[in-house]
Amino acid sequence: MIVIKDFIDDESRMLRSAQAIRDGIGSGELSKIREQPDEIAEDGTTAREGRLLARWALSRERNPKLRSSKIKAARKLGLPIQCEVCDFNFGQTYGEMGDDFIEVHHVLPLHISGPCETRLADLAFLCSNCHRMCHRSYRGESWRTPAAVRVEIAEALKAAEDT
């Protein structure tokens, strides 16, 4: 099992985030993570713990070392580099420009798992659309697993067939 300490290279950020988690638990602030910001619009200007944690979770997902380890591991297993929800494959659609382009998502977000080592098995490959759906606030939930997004797609498809 490959284990990666993904925040070892940014200790001060880790300490700030750990403090934010402790503050959040102490004050009930963690519930504010329900209002998880839209990850791409996030401008990084607010300091509220929830937003800090969400931002940290997202920057954690953007860790290039984790990403390339995940891609390497998938290659070793002969798995395609494509969305685990909808099978979208950037290389197939965009040609060489899209080769190996994929977003990496932590299946358990930071505010559930707490600060911990990231195992490659905890990471999922997602296309940009499915990734947004995992992080979108919907029906009171600020995130959902790739498996839950897959269920939503199946239900939408079924609803479309029924009409």
Which residues are near Zn ion by CB under 5 A? Answer: 61, 83, 85-86, 88, 105, 127, 130
Complex with Zn ion: residue 43 or 162, whichever CB lies closer: 43
DSSP label of 81:
S
Q: Which is nearer to Zn ion, 13 or 150 (CB)?
A: 150
CB 60, min distance to Zn ion, A: 9
Nearest to 79 by CA among 107, 100, 105, 103: 100
Q: CB–CB of 123/107 below 8 Å?
A: yes
* H/E stretch holding 3: strand 3-4
CB of 15 or CB of 148, closer to Zn ion: 148
Q: 24 or 109: whose CB is closer to Zn ion?
A: 109
Give the residue with the Cβ less far from Zn ion, 18 or 86: 86
CA 151 to chain centre: 18
- The nearest distance, CB 27 to Zn ion, in angstroms, is 26
Identity of the residue numbered 91: G
Least Å from the CB of residue 102 to Zn ion: 10
In the complex, what is the shortest distance from the CB of residue 81 to Zn ion, in angstroms, rounded to a whole number? 12
Closest approach, Cβ 6 to Zn ion, in A, equals 14
- Which one, of 28, 29, 36, 4, lies nearest residue 142 by Cα? 36
79-83 contacts at long range (C-beta below 8 A, 24 or more positions apart) = 81/125, 82/125, 82/127, 83/125, 83/126, 83/127, 83/130
**Would you say how long the chain is, in residues?**
163
